[in-house]
Every structure is written in C-alpha cells, then in structure tokens.
Amino acid sequence: MAPRPAGQSASAAPGRIGIVDGLAQLAFVIHGILERRAADHDLSATQARLLGVLRDRKPTMNELARLLGLDKSSISGLVDRAERRGLVARIPSTQDRRAVLVGLTDDGRSLVSRASAGFSADVLAMLELLPRSDRDVLPEIVSRLLTAHAAGQGIDLFAGLDAQAQSPA
C-alpha cells in the first residue's frame, strides 16, 4: 500500500483532503488569521473572541463562560483585563440582582469594529479562492453545523442577541 500524502485521510479521494483533516487545517488557518489580527490591536485570540461575542449581546458571566467554552474563573480574569483596558463594563442585571451582565464600552465597540474589519477582509480574501457556487452554499452549511453543535451543548446561538443583530439585513 502506497503511503498517503500528509493531511489526506483514508476516506479522502486521491488529490483531496479528508473532511476531518480539512476542517482541522482550516481551523488552524482561521485561528492564525484571528491571532494576527488580534495582535495588531494588542489582544490575545481569546480576548478577541470575548469582544466578538459582546459585539451583539450583553450576556451574564455564566452565559459568557458557556459561549466561550471557558470556566467561570477564566472568564472573570478575562473580563477583568478587558475592563482595565476600558473595553468592557460589568452591568448589574435588572432581572436578577445576583447576575452581572458584560457589555462593550464605546472604546470596546470601536476596537471590535476595527479588528473585525481586518479579520473579515482576510477571510473573505481567502474565500475568493473558491468558485462562486461554493461561496454561495458555504454560509448555510457552516451556519447549520454551528447552530446544531451549539444546540447539542445547550446553547442557543441566537438567544440574547440585540434586536438589530437578529433582523435580516
């Protein structure tokens, strides 16, 4: 049996990367883009993810932990550092006095806007390598996969979104 090229799984057709290897490699590429764009703004990739989540919602600390897949003590430190930089603020919940919401400040919103513009440009440039027909179906496939995965974790990706973010553009 001839050895397979690196990254090609047993189930991949010749000249193609298997789905597992392909998605893993794509995740590495996207994460690398995120890290570079975050570093441009003196952020870690995790800090960039935090700000990205907060751009269209104000979750509780517990919800934030679930959305980012981190434990509560990690979230506290992450929010503390962002708060010291003036990017986020803790907001007492009007619904539950024990709960604290986290939201972007004006400075945080401005930073998210600048950072996400560069990240979006990089990802869209990479997607331009695909034929138009592939670019047309990819958003629906990715959306269904991520929504289903989140639901399996007990997370509604659309719960708590600001009304403006929920309405179709």
pLDDT tens for 39-97 read 999 999 999 999 999 999 999 999 999 999 999 889 999 999 999 999 999 999 888 88
**Is residue 47 domain-resident?**
yes
- Looking at the structure of the chain, the number of domains it has is 1
**Is residue 97 domain-resident?**
yes
pLDDT at 12: 62
**Is residue 83 domain-resident?**
yes
**Is residue 134 domain-resident?**
no
Domain that holds residue 44: 19-128
pLDDT at 14: 79
What's the one-letter identity of residue 16? R
Q: Residue 50's domain is classified under what CATH number?
A: 1.10.10.10
**Is residue 1 domain-resident?**
no
DSSP state of 87: S
* C-alpha span between 70 and 77 (Å, rounded): 11
pTM of the predicted model, to two decimals? Answer: 0.78
Q: How many residues does the chain have?
A: 169
**Is residue 164 domain-resident?**
no
Is residue 142 pLDDT above 80, yes or no? yes
pLDDT in tens, 97-135: 888 999 999 999 999 999 999 999 999 999 999 999 999
Query: Which residues, 6 or more positions from 157, have their beta carbon under 8 angstroms from its beta carbon?
Result: 146, 147, 150
**Is residue 85 domain-resident?**
yes
Which structure tokens are listed for 53? 């989540």
Which structure tokens are listed for 24? 């893993």
